[in-house]
Amino acid sequence: MRIIQNSIFLLLFCSLSAFAQENDFQSWYSVSLNKKIIKKTNLAVKTGLRLRENSSLYAKQFTDVKIKRKYSKRISYAVGYRYINRWDIALNISNQNRFYADVYYKNKLSKRFSYAVRNRWQTQGYLYGYKMTLRQKFALDYNIRKTKLAPSIATEYFLNLEDGINKLRSTIALGYPLAKKLDFELAYRIQHEFYVNNPETLFIFEGKLAYDL
């Protein structure tokens, strides 16, 4: 009987350990600078740091440059490049490049509700191979009466041509203008992975600062 109890305990312990390894709490931080370069065209430079393993170890650091142009009142498009440093479990660093193109659409549902859709085609990888991914993000914003707080929710899926949808992100965020040209945002995000050897569920705290030059 004791052997059976010990076996059950060991099985439960291993199961809980395996479950814990498939989940992680991360912290993502970013600072961006935005500058209007010509009419209807903006340049954005963004740098970010991501921490993993309960926000105790480096996961990723990146620098992103994007040019965005307004086509009409509701439609915009952009092209960008991101240089990425990644740390593996042994804290070895590898580099990646990302090239992407975006199409944005935004509109109002009512006086206080608005929505936005972003379609992104990106190719990312190392020197020896790149992978193409389609990302589609849906966001809903709410304008609270008589306050500068700006709550929003969003969901985004990642579609790989080989595996189908392999990642899903759900986000709730709260933005606030600290000054005339300085915006701050806090967000909580849950990210699920699919069709990989060890799929992870990430619980992410995110902080953003954006300044208009």
Q: How does pLDDT run along the chain (213 residues), one tens digit per residue?
A: 444 344 334 333 444 433 444 799 999 999 999 999 999 999 999 999 999 999 999 999 999 999 999 999 999 999 999 999 999 888 899 999 999 999 999 999 998 999 999 999 999 998 778 999 999 999 999 999 889 999 999 999 999 888 789 999 999 999 999 999 999 999 999 999 988 778 889 999 999 999 999
CB burial class (10 A; 0-12, 13-18, 19+) of residue 98?
middle
Identify the CATH homologous superfamily for domain 2-212: monomeric porin ompg (2.40.160.40)
Q: pLDDT value at position 128?
A: 79
> Which residues does 6 contact at the CB level (< 8 Å), separation at least 6?
none
Q: What pLDDT was estimated at residue 162? A: 80
pLDDT of residue 199: 87
Smallest Cα–Cα separation from 133: which of 104, 90, 165? 165
Find out whether 50 and 26 touch, Cβ atoms under 8 Å. yes
Please name which of 211, 163, 167 lies closest in space to residue 189, comparing C-alpha atoms: 167
pLDDT at position 31 is 98
158 within 8 A of 133, measured Cβ to Cβ: yes
- Residue 156 confidence (pLDDT): 98
